[in-house]
Amino acid sequence: VKVAGIYEVVGRRTYREHPPGAVFEAAMDARHEARALARGDIKKLASTTPALQPGSYTLPPGWTTKNEEVQNRG
Amino acid sequence: VGKRIALKDYIEIDHIDLSDFFSQIGFSSENEQVDVSGFNSTGVDEFLAGKNTASVSGTVFGAYGANETWAVLWPLHRDRTVFPIKWRVDSSAGVSATNPELRGNAQILSWSPGATRGSPDSFPVTFTPADSTGFYYSET
């Protein structure tokens, strides 16, 4: 299970190559997050929901056919 | 890139940078030598590569503060946790073809700290692959 959020490195050691005091956004395995929170490596500032915003991505040319596009529109 | 003196290695255990608690680290990958020799006129043995056995072994300093070796490693062994490890030779540079990073999901199957009077508190630790992906080098 993946979880996502904004985290602050509160321990004295670098976490995922983010130095102490750094704030970073990440998606990670829920078990990894739980261990890091329990050890005091990081603090979770906020939960986030990863999402693609309209227009923020493009599909490779020819990746979909017209038929698939129609089906995806429902 | 030429010869190097090992000084800047980066070692990450369960996403925590424990580089300065390791004084030694090594990776071992061994393909089993399977004898498939048949009778032949030269008498030479013939082998195939069989099962692969790999491990990452190191020497860590015993340190008992928050986010230090005992606080990180002991619960991973005690709880039989599967966790990610990373090792690359140059912590001051990113992962690349000339600074590949060894990665994998590991577990600590044995735990044997010790101390000798007048000497630094250090002990061996071995990381064993925990899934069929095993340990692998990444260049990105």
pLDDT tens for each residue of B104-129: 999 999 999 999 999 999 999 999 99
Q: Is the pLDDT of residue A3 over 60?
A: yes
Six-digit token string for B46: 């013939």
| CB nearest to A39's CB, from B12, B17, B67 | B67
pLDDT tens for each residue of A11-36: 899 999 999 999 999 999 999 999 99
* Length of chain B (residues): 140
- pLDDT in the model for residue A72: 59
- pLDDT in the model for residue A67: 56
Give A16→chain B minimum CA distance, Å.
5
Tokens 């997050």: give the residue: A33
Residue of chain A nearest B105, judged by CA positions: A32
Distance in angstroms (rounded) separating the CA atoms of residues B24 and A15: 21
Distances (CA, A) of B128 to A21, B54, B118: 32, 7, 31
Decide if B84 touches A, using CB distance below 8 A: yes
Residue of chain A nearest B73, judged by CA positions: A39
| CB nearest to A13's CB, from B17, B75, B83 | B17
Give A5→chain B minimum CA distance, Å.
16
Helical (H) or strand (E) element with A23: strand A23-29
Contact indicator for B84, B104 with CB cutoff of 8 Å: yes
Tokens 């005992």: give the residue: B70
B10 versus A66: which is more confidently predicted?
Answer: B10
In chain A, the percentage of residues whose pLDDT exceeds 90 is 62
- Contacting residues for B32 by C-beta, under 8 A, at least 6 apart: B49, B50, B51, B52, B53
* Length of chain A (residues): 74
Distance in angstroms (rounded) separating the CA atoms of residues B72 and B65: 10
Radius of gyration of chain A (CA): 18
Distance in angstroms (rounded) separating the CA atoms of residues B72 and B67: 6
- pLDDT in the model for residue A62: 74
Query: What b/e sequence results for A26-39 when a residue is b if at least 16 CB atoms lie within 10 Å of its CB, and e otherwise?
Result: bebeeebbebbeeb
Distance in angstroms (rounded) separating the CA atoms of residues B11 and B9: 6
